[in-house]
């Protein structure tokens, strides 16, 4: 069912910048789809948002953005509930720092799988819907570290 109230889907919405973005969208009357891995923190954020903006609907969908199948499920459930997604905010990210020679391959893989593939997974799953509708906005949260690399922050990957 399509809603006239716009909907924003935010990854990494349980903490930090993603949570702050969710509060801003709630202030502007958007329905919200919140994604992150840990459902307890996600639910705590949803409770705050429902208290802040009782008129908006907040849907939490525990998701690991590194997993394409989970992201496909996220997009499917969001569309099933709201009929459309007007804004996708790719925000879920991890940060590790230190001398590059001390990073394990696992460190590199986890960072790239989250900060790069996580964004690709959501875009790949949602883009056909946005094209079909002829509208929609994708916001990819990056880092100034991708433009001016600071010391000891090699795998920022933004
Ligand atoms: N804070 C900064 O100074 C800064 C600077 C430059 C860029 N950024 C970028 O801004 C974004 C947000 O940063 P932040 O500092 O707000 O981060 P944060 O406070 O550590 O929050 C990260 C959020 O992402 C979620 N997340 C992490 N891995 C995930 C995964 N695999 N799947 C789904 N959700 C995942 C976390 O929840 P779960 O752990 O429950 O999954 C949490 O909700 C990141 O992309 C970061 O690179 C931040």
Grouping H, G, I as helix, E, B as strand and the rest as coil, residue 51 is helix
In a domain, 70, yes or no: yes
In a domain, 99, yes or no: yes
In a domain, 93, yes or no: yes
Question: Residue 110 maps to which CATH number?
Answer: 3.40.50.720
Q: Residue 155's pLDDT is what? A: 63
Q: Residue 135's pLDDT is what? A: 97
Place of tokens 């923190």: 41
Q: Residue 153's pLDDT is what? A: 79
In a domain, 2, yes or no: no
Cα-to-centroid distance, 138 and ligand 1 (Å): 17
Q: Are 54 and 27 in contact (CB under 8 A)?
A: no
Global pTM value: 0.96
Closest residue by CA, ligand 1 atom 34: 36
Q: Residue 106's pLDDT is what? A: 95
Q: Provide the terminal-to-terminal Cα distance of the chain, rounded to the nearest Å.
A: 35
Residue 155 Cβ inside 6 Å of ligand 1? The answer reads no
In whole angstroms, give the CA distance from residue 122 to residue 100: 29
Q: Which of 8, 9, 25, 18 is nearest to 122 (CA)?
A: 9
Q: Residue 1's pLDDT is what? A: 47
φ, ψ at 72 (rounded to 5°): -60, -40
Q: Count the domains in the chain.
A: 1
> pLDDT 10s digit of each residue in the chain, 158 long?
455 899 999 999 999 999 999 999 999 999 999 999 999 999 999 999 999 999 999 999 999 999 999 999 999 999 999 999 999 999 999 998 899 899 999 999 999 999 999 999 999 999 999 999 999 999 999 998 888 878 887 665 55
Closest residue by CA, ligand 1 atom 4: 143
Count CA atoms within 13 Å of residue 141 on its CB side: 21
Q: Which residues form the domain of 137?
A: 7-156
Cα-to-centroid distance, 40 and ligand 1 (Å): 16
Residue 45 Cβ inside 6 Å of ligand 1? The answer reads no
In a domain, 1, yes or no: no
In a domain, 121, yes or no: yes
């Amino acid at each position: 069912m399509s809603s006239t109230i716009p909907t924003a889907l935010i990854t990494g919405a349980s903490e930090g910048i993603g949570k702050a973005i969710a509060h801003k969208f709630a202030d502007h009357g958007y329905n919200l789809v919140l994604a992150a891995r840990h459902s307890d923190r996600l639910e705590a954020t949803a409770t705050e948002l429902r208290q802040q903006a009782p008129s908006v609907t907040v849907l939490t969908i525990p998701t690991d953005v590194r997993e394409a199948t989970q992201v496909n499920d996220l997009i499917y459930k969001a569309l099933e509930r709201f009929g459309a997604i007007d804004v996708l905010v790719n925000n879920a990210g991890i940060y590790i720092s230190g001398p590059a020679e001390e990073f394990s391959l696992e460190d590199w893989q986890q960072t790239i799988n989250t900060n790069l593939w996580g964004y690709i997974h959501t875009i790949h799953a949602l883009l056909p819907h946005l094209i079909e509708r002829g509208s929609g906005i994708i916001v990819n949260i990056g880092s100034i570290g991708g433009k001016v690399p600071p010391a000891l922050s090699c795998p920022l990957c933004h």
